[in-house]
Structure 1
Amino acid sequence: MLRTFAAVTATAACAVALAAPASAHVKATSDGAQGGWGVVTFRVPTESDTASTTDLLVTLPDDQPIVSVSTQQKPGWTATVTKKKLASPQKDDDGNEITEYISTVEWKATAPQAAIAPGQFDTFSISAGPLPKTESLSLPAAQTYSDGKVVNWNEKAVTGQSEPEHPAPTVHLKPAAGAEHDAPAAAAQPSATPAWPGLTALAVSVIALLLGIANLALSRRKN
């Protein structure tokens, strides 16, 4: 029984170790709707064991230009919004010509104590719009550490394939107001990224199993 317990413990440890890194990535969420305004929040964990996160650079798409962005005040960090000229001017819904768009948003820690230490995470938010009229929006990010290492989160996930090593943060936008009544609901697509609730349930199940085996082994030894 004790050998069984040890084997199960080792298997569970491996499962948790393999599952955890898959979720420890820079990710983005948004409450915005297609064609409207919304808040986009980036969750930034520090994966390094020895260095802190000191810089986050997010690149916005030029093929789906966003013309206005404001940053949320964040003590200990400075935020810089950079604009660029569009290669070809575009028209908005009101017929106005768009010649510039928001190209990048960058946050820099102003002091070492403000950086994101190993084993910790922080969030960075922008208010942006009008958002593209698309179901999802990819927002590649570059994460810089205090030791000079840069991790580029810019790989696109493909449905049906395993998650890439450095997936680009992607937000899923709600349909525009009334759009859900005009078009049939899209079939749900499997996500390439495991959700935190699923990992939590797995961990709880494994712990419960281990405790049960341990109690059984102890009771048999006492008998």
Structure 2
Amino acid sequence: MSTVRTMRRLGAVSAAAIAATIAFAGPASAHAEVTASNAQALAKDVVLTFTGEAESESGGFTEVRVVLPEGIAPGDVTLDEAPKGWKMTSTKDGYTLSGPKLAVGTNAVHKVKVRQLPDAKSLAFKTIETYSDGKVSRWIELPGDGPEPEEPAPVLELKAAAAGAKPAKSPSPSPSRDAADKASDKASGTSDKASGDSGTTEKKADEEENSNAGAATAIGISIGVLIVAGAGLWVFKQRRSAG
């Protein structure tokens, strides 16, 4: 009997240990990943699918932020598919998707189309996920020579570029608001300066006109004086001749 009881106890302890291990390993096994419709360097119009596995037991996803790797500009990416009600917002180094919270335990899956993949062997997409309960998962660690990262960023391995494939030029980014404001301020300053220069020119013109008018008046008076003096001298000579 004692042997049977011992076996039962060992069985119970083993079951509890297994359950605890599973419970502990469950959230840790969650991760973020990326796949591609064509995982090849310099491939065009590639659809990337991002999957964020739910790991919160009390909240649903509300936001996913992706940092694009070098060679992919925010302007090269367009939204292809996302959870209902979620919207994309471009950032200086990638994009953010956010919207109504997903049901607890529901994975966050979205797709974007990339104009062209860069000429690289692999691409890492650092991803930050936010839940409605305030939990934040940061899948931003890059693989290296050391131990495997605990929170690895999604990495896409690429095949070599097809023969003859060439990188296309990315569309020129739109001027930022700051740049637009600076341009506007500069234009305004130029306009004000031009206005000030115009006022100065008009003032100088008025001064020159007044100066010229004054000079003309002085000359006229001088001529008048000479005429009067000449006439007086002529009358004096006539009278002297007559006398």
User: How would you bin the TM-score normalised by the shorter chain?
Assistant: 0.5 to 0.7
Q: Contact between 2:47 and 2:111, CA under 8 Å: does it hold in 1? A: yes
Computing the radius of gyration from Cα coordinates, the structure with the larger value is 2
Q: 1:159 offset after TM fit, Å?
A: 5.2
Query: What is the CA–CA distance in structure 1 between the aligned matches of 2:42 and 2:155, rounded to whole Å?
Result: 17
RMSD of Structure 2 on Structure 1 (CA): 2.6
Q: Which of 23, 32, 50 matches 2:29?
A: 23
**Whole-angstrom distance in 2 between the partners of 1:4 and 1:149:** 37
Q: Does 1:44 align with 2:30?
A: no
Q: Quick check: 1:126 aligned with 2:112?
A: yes
2:176 is aligned with 1:168: no
- Tell me if structure 1 keeps the 8 A contact 2:81–2:110: no
**Tell me, what secondary structure is at the counterpart of 1:40?**
strand
Count of residues in Structure 1 that have an aligned counterpart in Structure 2: 154
Unaligned runs of 5+ residues in structure 1 are 85-102, 180-223
- Contact 1:25–1:44 (Cα < 8 Å) also in 2: yes
Q: Distance in 2 between matches of 1:159 and 1:30?
A: 26
Measured in 1, the distance between the counterparts of 2:12 and 2:26 equals 21
Q: Give the AA of the match of 1:52.
A: G
Structure showing the higher strand proportion among its residues: 1
Over the matched positions of the two proteins, sequence identity in percent amounts to: 33
CA distance in 2, matches of 1:104, 1:118: 26
Mapped to 2, the partners of 1:122 and 1:45 lie a distance apart of 7
Residue 79 (structure 1) aligns with: 88
Contact 1:46–1:116 (CA<8 Å) still a contact in 2? Answer: no
Greater relative CO (CA pairs within 8 A, separation 6+): 1
Deviation at 1:64, TM superposition (A): 2.7
Counterpart amino acid of residue 23 in structure 1: S
Task: Please state how far the C-alpha of 1:36 moved relative to its aligned partner.
Answer: 0.8
Quickly say closer, same or farther: Cα 1:47–1:10, change in 2 above 3 A.
same
Q: Does 1:7 align with 2:48?
A: no
Post-superposition CA distance 1:131-179 (Å, at most 9, x none): 1222221111121222444332211233561332x32122222333369
Q: Which residue type is aligned with residue 79 of structure 1?
A: M
| Residue equivalent to 1:158 | 144
Quick one: which amino acid aligns to residue 24 of structure 1? A
